[in-house]
C-alpha cells in the first residue's frame, strides 16, 4: 500500500513512523487510520522497536479529524471509533516495544494514540488532553479505558470531564510520560531509548512485553503463574544461554534472536 500520510524511516532495527497531515495538525482521518492499520499489520520482521511521532514541529496528533466526524450518525460513529480502536490495539499488541515521541499537541485521539504505545516521552512543548466532551463526544479511541489505567481514576476523570489540556511537566508528574526533553533533543532521546532496548535479548524483551500486558488484568495468582510459564520459556532460547555465559565469562553477549 502506498502511504500518503505516513513518513517511515527504517534503520538498524529501529523504525520511526511520523504521522503527516500538515493541514490539520496531523489529525487522524479514516484514510490515515487505514494506512496505520496496513503499516502495523505488515511491519518488517527486522524491526525491533517502533517509534511513533508527528511530522512537523507543532503537533503529534491533534485528535481525530473533526471535519470527518461532524456529520456521522450513530452507526457511523461506532464504525469510526471501532476502526481507530482496533488499529490502536494492534499497535499496543505488536510483539515489539513501541515508543511515542510526543512532539506537540497530543489531544483527543492523539493522546489516545500515545497511550496505546508502551512508553511515552515528550518535548517540553507537548500538550496532552482529552477535549472530546467539549465537542459533544467522549474519548472514542479507548481513552476512557487507557487513561485511568495510566494516571489513575481521579486524574483521568478530571481530565476527561473538564477537557483541560496539560503541559508536559504535568504529564510527567502524573506518570503519563516517562521523560521530557528539549524539542530538538526528543528524537535523539527516543532513538537512544530504542538502542538501549535493542541491546538486550530480543525474545526476552518480547516475552517481557507479552507478560506485562497479559498479567495486568489477571488476578494475582494467575498473573504470577503466567510469569512463571513465561520465565520458563526463556530457557528454551539460545540467547538465554548466551546472556548468562557472557556474564559469567565477563564478555559482551551477542544475541541472535534465537
Binding of ligand HXC by 106 (CB under 6 A): no
**R_g (Cα) of the chain, nearest Å:** 19
Of residues 110 through 129, those in contact with ligand HXC by CB under 6 A are none
The sheet that has 98-102: what strands, in order across it? 6-11, 14-19, 49-54, 98-102, 119-123, 179-181
How far apart CA 184 and CA 189 sit, in angstroms, is 10
Stretch that binds ligand HXC, among 43-51, 101-109, 177-185, 198-206 (CB under 6 A): 101-109
Is 75 a catalytic site residue?
Answer: no
| Beta carbon of residue 101, minimum distance to ligand HXC (angstroms, whole number) | 18
Give 5 or 255: the residue with its C-beta nearer to ligand HXC.
5
How far apart CA 84 and CA 103 sit, in angstroms, is 21
Stretch that binds ligand HXC, among 48-56, 80-88, 201-209, 216-224 (CB under 6 A): 80-88
Is 92 a catalytic site residue?
Answer: no
| Beta carbon of residue 156, minimum distance to ligand HXC (angstroms, whole number) | 15
Of residues 9 through 28, those in contact with ligand HXC by CB under 6 A are 24-25, 27
Which residues lie below 8 Å from residue 16, measured CB to CB, with a gap of 6+? 8, 9, 10, 50, 51, 53, 187, 190, 191
Give 167 or 233: the residue with its C-beta nearer to ligand HXC.
167
| Residue from 140, 105, 87 nearest 25 by CA | 105
Catalytic (active-site) positions: 112, 132
Which residues in this chain contact ligand HXC in the complex, by CB under 6 A? 24-25, 27, 62-67, 80-81, 84, 105, 107-109, 131-132, 135, 139-141
Amino acid at each position: 500500500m502506498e502511504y500518503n500520510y505516513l513518513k517511515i524511516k527504517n534503520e538498524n532495527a529501529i523504525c520511526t513512523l511520523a504521522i503527516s497531515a500538515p493541514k490539520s495538525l496531523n489529525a487522524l482521518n479514516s484514510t490515515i487510520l487505514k494506512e496505520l492499520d496496513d503499516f502495523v499489520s505488515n511491519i518488517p520482521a527486522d524491526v525491533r522497536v517502533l517509534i511513533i511521532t508527528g511530522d512537523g514541529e507543532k503537533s503529534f496528533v491533534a485528535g481525530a479529524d473533526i471535519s470527518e466526524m461532524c456529520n456521522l450518525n450513530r452507526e457511523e460513529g461506532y464504525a469510526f471509533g471501532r476502526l481507530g480502536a482496533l488499529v490502536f490495539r494492534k499497535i499496543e499488541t505488536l510483539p515489539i516495544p513501541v515508543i511515542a515521541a510526543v512532539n506537540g499537541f497530543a489531544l483527543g485521539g492523539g493522546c489516545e494514540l500515545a497511550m496505546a504505545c508502551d512508553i511515552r516521552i515528550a518535548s517540553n512543548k507537548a500538550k496532552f488532553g482529552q477535549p472530546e466532551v467539549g465537542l459533544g463526544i467522549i474519548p472514542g479511541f479507548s481513552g476512557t479505558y487507557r487513561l485511568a489505567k495510566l494516571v489513575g481514576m481521579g486524574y483521568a476523570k478530571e481530565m476527561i470531564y473538564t477537557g483541560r489540556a496539560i503541559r508536559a511537566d504535568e504529564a510527567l508528574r502524573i506518570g503519563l510520560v516517562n521523560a521530557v526533553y528539549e524539542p530538538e533533543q526528543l528524537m535523539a532521546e527516543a532513538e537512544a531509548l530504542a538502542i538501549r532496548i535493542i541491546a538486550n535479548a530480543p525474545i526476552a524483551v518480547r516475552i517481557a512485553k507479552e507478560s506485562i500486558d497479559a498479567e495486568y488484568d489477571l488476578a494475582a495468582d494467575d498473573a504470577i503463574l503466567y510469569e512463571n510459564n513465561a520465565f520458563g520459556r526463556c530457557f528454551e532460547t539460545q540467547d538465554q544461554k548466551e546472556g548468562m555465559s557472557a556474564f559469567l565469562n565477563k564478555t559482551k553477549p551477542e544475541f541472535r534472536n534465537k
